[in-house]
Structure 1
Amino acid sequence: MFYLIAAVAAIILVSVLAAWAFPSAGIDDAHATAGTGKAAKRPDGEPVRKPESLEGVLVAQLVAGTISPVQYRRAVERIAARDEERHPLTVPPENGPAAA
């Protein structure tokens, strides 16, 4: 039991140290500075990443206050309708009970 507790504690310690040593490992500075001469920064000093999807762009606009919540919902509804039209959900046919 002692070895199990020691192993779990060691894994947690290594995870915390890795996260503490590399806090901005997931941020890609090349995308944050594209088209500008300097790095875009948030108030806390972290670089700003550009959204990678249409939904990400909409959320960024909603958070920034460029669009209202109603406009956001309408845009997401249009995205969902377009996605349903392009990739309709097909349900496989029922074959009946499995033969044992």
Structure 2
Amino acid sequence: MLILFLLILVLVGACVLAVRGVRAEARKAEEPLLVPESFFAPASLEGVLCGQLMDGEITRRQYLRSMEGIAARDEARHPLVVPWHLGAGEE
């Protein structure tokens, strides 16, 4: 029984040492992640307005008015066409 206990203890010790070595190698190989600032830049006018609102550059009222203008411009450029010839529930 003592031999079995010692064998298990040696195996557990070997596993612990192996895991510690793998973790140490992973820490050494890890390079800092460099993300360019342009990655976080807004890609749309709505994003720019949202950033300005969050930074306090514009007020809530200015934000809403600008979003209304964007919606009106979008409606003029790409009007929504609804197929009125279909009844309710028909496709």
Smaller-chain TM-score bracket: 0.5 to 0.7
Structure 2 counterpart of 1:94: 85
Tell me how far 1:92 sits from its aligned partner.
1.6
Tell me how far 1:93 sits from its aligned partner.
3.8
Tell me how far 1:94 sits from its aligned partner.
1.2
Q: Are 2:71 and 1:80 equivalent residues in the alignment? A: yes
Unaligned runs of at least 5 residues, structure 2:
1-33
Aligned length: 55
Matches within 5 A, 1:23-34: 29-30=35-36, 32=37, 34=38
- Percent identity over the alignment is 52
> Per residue, is there more helix in 1 or in 2?
2
Unaligned runs of at least 5 residues, structure 1:
1-27, 35-47
Q: Are 2:55 and 1:49 equivalent residues in the alignment? A: no
Give me the whole-angstrom Cα distance separating, in 1, the residues matched to 2:48 and 2:35: 18
Structure 1 counterpart of 2:61: 70
Structure 2 counterpart of 1:42: none
Tell me how far 1:95 sits from its aligned partner.
5.1
- RMSD of aligned C-alpha atoms? 2.3
3-state SS, counterpart of residue 29 of structure 1: coil
Q: TM-score, normalising length from structure 2?
A: 0.53
Give me the whole-angstrom Cα distance separating, in 1, the residues matched to 2:41 and 2:72: 25
Q: TM-score, normalising length from structure 1?
A: 0.48
Who wins on radius of gyration, i.e. which is larger?
2
Tell me how far 1:49 sits from its aligned partner.
0.7
| Alignment-mate amino acid for residue 56 of structure 2 | G
